[in-house]
Structure 1
Amino acid sequence: MTTTRENPDDDQQGNNLRVFDIATGRTVQQLTGHTNLVGAVDVSPDGRYAVSGSFDNTVRVWDIAAGTGIQVGTHTNQVIGVRFTPDGYAVIAVSRGGQIMMWHANGDGLIRQFIDPAGDITSVQALALSADGSLLLTGGDESIVRLWDVATGDLLETVTIEDRAVRALGFHPDGTHFVVGSVNGSLTLWSTDGDSTGRLTGHSRAIITAEYTPDGMHVLSTSFDGTLRVWDIVSGFEVRRFDTNDEPGVTIQTADISSDGQLVLTALSDGRLRIWRLYPTLESLLAWTVANRVVTPLTDCTIREQFQLEPCDANGQPPAQNLPPLPPLNPPPQSVITLEIGRHAVINTTNGTRQFVRPAPAISITRRARWWMTGRESSCNPGRCCRRASGGGRSRRRPA
């Protein structure tokens, strides 16, 4: 998760990290150590540690339960993006000065620096790591996205983005495609071979976050236009939108999606956290219906007028309800089929009569047996009614 602020606040609260209980919203831990604003946070795969990058140019790793941390790296400029590797043993950090560094998470120092052999990288504003940790994406004000080999530090591919500076990057779960969010609000889809595969249009201001949902079928994006949107990557259509435009001056600063793709956690510019449910479940819809339904009696004269029912009288009384009596319920005759196997087989039919049939020797009753009479035949299934076949004479049965 990368935190971006349009108007940074210099108070000390912005220097600290807080751990919240999602169920209660309460702060359960505060991590103190940075001397300037925290620009980025990520949590290790096992959930035990957090890594933070700060405007004090440092990278720190924290033991969440203990509330303690160590400094694992230093950059020459403000650190605005951090990621744990999938094994949790290393962290990758990027800074506004263009440095891309990989550090040991235990404090043992620098593992490698990612350097473009064609020249210096002047700015990095975003990074993304593939699910298997083998590929790294970086981008910034140069409007160039670079694809790196994490194991060697080699530059594999560069993609020039015509839509101005890069502000957000996200890998597809299979590692073969990625999404780029730009400062002008555009979202573009690319393959790791450098081919453009689509465009998502709708945001009116700079993109803050852009990432794929865990199933790889949608892209989640947030923008300084105050909206969180979900896009279908095949059609390019926007399929969900959530916004904070009903609260003047409040914008979404960052967002992160849950591992099951159902919830999104957003941080707002006024310091609040908000959780959004992307896809309502049946249980949540039923709960909402029960909590919000309103059943208005037809004795309400306004309702009667609204739905063009017979109006109330001059005293405001609804007309008397003269409902016709309900017809009596006559249950149908018993139609359960029973078989009595002995010297005879007895069938209770739907019309209440009984038919006697002598079973043939050495033929067993199966789940489906066919009984036939002279002229026509009918079949019986277990648990169903059997209509008597027309015609006279003897009846026999055979397995179906």
Structure 2
Amino acid sequence: MQGHSNYVTSVSFSPDGLQIASGSGDNTIRIWDAHTGKEIREPLRGHTFNVNSVSFSPDGKCLASASYDKTVRLWDVETGQRIGQPLEGHVGWVMCVAFSPDGNRIVSGSLDHTLQLWAAQTGQAIGEPLRGHSHRIWSVAFSPDGKHIASGSADNTIRLWDAETCQPVGDPLRGHDSSVWSVAYSPDGASIVSGSDDMTIRIWDAQTRQTVLGSLQGHEKAVTSVAFSPDGQYIVSGSWDGRIRIWDAQTGQTVAGPWQAHGGEYGVFSVAFSPDGKHLVSGGHDKLVKIWDGEVD
């Protein structure tokens, strides 16, 4: 799917699987029909710098976006109009954003080393920034029950946070030798997967915070994006090597791919499963959004 005039940093399926949102270095967000690949409306404009992350609300009516302009913005998916004022508070580029499972809160992570919780209805900051990482934050994810948040950082660690108290849970998860670019919870919340600049993937026990599988090797450059399939059986990964792989979440073996997905120096920036697990979407340095068969034979 062509339309962006700069690299595609983030892609996400709507909860019903009918639409795809993409954020780009061209400062815009585009909404696509997941079946036809056609744009549904004009690009969403408002950010004044790169859009780094996009996240649908659980009901699919709202989209959150994070940007180098240090803000988070909310959008009405049906109309493409901005909702309220930009969410301001971070003093560094905002790299990642995610909705809570109940849709009431949003979490963002920034180059200022902090996370911030926001009230989705009002756009107001909830409490003080979450501090603990010693370097920029690349990725955030809510647990499926909404009780915890995982964050991946350039300090080579993953931290878990209590989403109610905003306090860290236990010690950081250590094992990667370089920046943690992406983190995601399994559908049952029992596991966390992470992708790193060290070219590996690790799977962690969310309760014990110990590595249960890793390091999964195969990519030749940084692993920039990871996600569990909706049934939790598989993990998809995208890398700056331009390739996508699907892994067995129990054994760590590659079960599909690698596919040469995107060109350009930085290859794949983002991958995601469709809600039914039948398709994948990817965005890359070549300015393209692509849809793939996500089913494993």
TM-score, normalised with respect to structure 2: 0.85
In structure 2, what is the Cα distance between the partners aligned to 1:188 and 1:13?
Answer: 28
| Residue in structure 1 matching 2:111, options 74, 80, 96 | 96
- Which structure shows the higher helix fraction? 1
Q: Which runs of 5+ in 1 are unaligned?
A: 5-11, 282-400
Asked if residue 177 in structure 1 is aligned to residue 183 in structure 2, the reply is no
Asked if residue 24 in structure 1 is aligned to residue 39 in structure 2, the reply is no
Instruction: Classify the secondary structure of the residue corresponding to 1:175.
Output: coil
In structure 2, what is the Cα distance between the partners aligned to 1:279 and 1:55?
Answer: 35
> How many correspondences in the alignment?
271
Q: Check 1:230–1:13 CA distance in 2 against 1; reply closer, same or farther (3 A cut).
A: closer
In structure 1, what is the Cα distance between the partners aligned to 2:250 and 2:151?
Answer: 25
Higher relative contact order, structure no. (Cα contacts within 8 Å, ≥ 6 residues apart): 2
Asked if residue 38 in structure 1 is aligned to residue 51 in structure 2, the reply is yes
1:162 to partner: Cα distance? 3.8
CA contact (8 A) 1:59 1:74 kept: no
Give 1:195's aligned residue.
210
In structure 2, what is the Cα distance between the partners aligned to 1:222 and 1:14?
Answer: 21
CA displacement 1:123-148 (0-9 Å, x = unmatched):
21111211121111112111121111
Asked if residue 83 in structure 1 is aligned to residue 89 in structure 2, the reply is no
- AA at the equivalent of 2:36: T
In structure 2, what is the Cα distance between the partners aligned to 1:19 and 1:39?
Answer: 15
Asked if residue 133 in structure 1 is aligned to residue 149 in structure 2, the reply is no
CA contact (8 A) 2:240 2:265 kept: no
Instruction: Classify the secondary structure of the residue corresponding to 1:27.
Output: coil
Q: Which runs of 5+ in 2 are unaligned?
A: 1-7, 11-23
1:179 to partner: Cα distance? 1.1
Give 2:282's aligned residue.
266
User: Considering only CA atoms, is the larger Rg found in Structure 1 or Structure 2?
Assistant: 1
Instruction: Classify the secondary structure of the residue corresponding to 1:100.
Output: strand
1:166 to partner: Cα distance? 0.9
Q: Check 1:113–1:259 CA distance in 2 against 1; reply closer, same or farther (3 A cut).
A: farther
1:271 to partner: Cα distance? 1.6
Instruction: State the 4+ residue runs in structure 1 displaced beyond 6 angstroms.
Output: none
In structure 2, what is the Cα distance between the partners aligned to 1:108 and 1:269?
Answer: 31
Instruction: Classify the secondary structure of the residue corresponding to 1:62.
Output: strand
- AA at the equivalent of 1:115: L
| Residue in structure 1 matching 2:270, options 250, 254, 276 | 254
Give 2:225's aligned residue.
209
In structure 1, what is the Cα distance between the partners aligned to 2:150 and 2:133?
Answer: 16
| Residue in structure 1 matching 2:87, options 52, 72, 77 | 72
In structure 2, what is the Cα distance between the partners aligned to 1:146 and 1:252?
Answer: 25
1:160 to partner: Cα distance? 1.6
Give 1:153's aligned residue.
166
- AA at the equivalent of 1:237: Q
TM-score, normalised with respect to structure 1: 0.64
